[in-house]
Amino acid sequence: MFGFGNRKKYNGTVDLKLNNEFQIPTRDNPSFPGMLAYLELIDNAWQTKMTEDEGALYIATLYYCGLLRHGRHDEASRLHSRIRSIVSFGLPKGIISQTRWAKFSGAIDQANQEAGIT
- Measured from the Cβ of residue 81, the count of other Cβ atoms closer than 10 Å reads 10
User: What's 26's DSSP letter?
Assistant: -
pLDDT at 99 over 80: yes
Q: Does residue 47 contact residue 5 with C-beta atoms inside 8 Å?
A: no
Whole-model pTM: value is 0.94
Q: Does residue 54 contact residue 18 with C-beta atoms inside 8 Å?
A: no
- Measured from the Cβ of residue 9, the count of other Cβ atoms closer than 10 Å reads 11
Q: In whole angstroms, what is the distance from residue 58 CA to residue 16 CA?
A: 14
H-helix or E-strand spanning residue 2:
helix 2-20
- Going from N- to C-terminal start, the domains of the chain cover 2-114
Amino acid at 70: H
Mean of all residue pLDDT scores within the chain: 95
User: Length of the chain, please?
Assistant: 118
Residues 6+ apart with CB under 8 A from 30: none
Instruction: Supply the pLDDT for residue 118.
Output: 72
pLDDT in tens, 36-90: 999 999 999 999 999 999 999 999 999 999 999 999 999 999 999 999 999 999 9
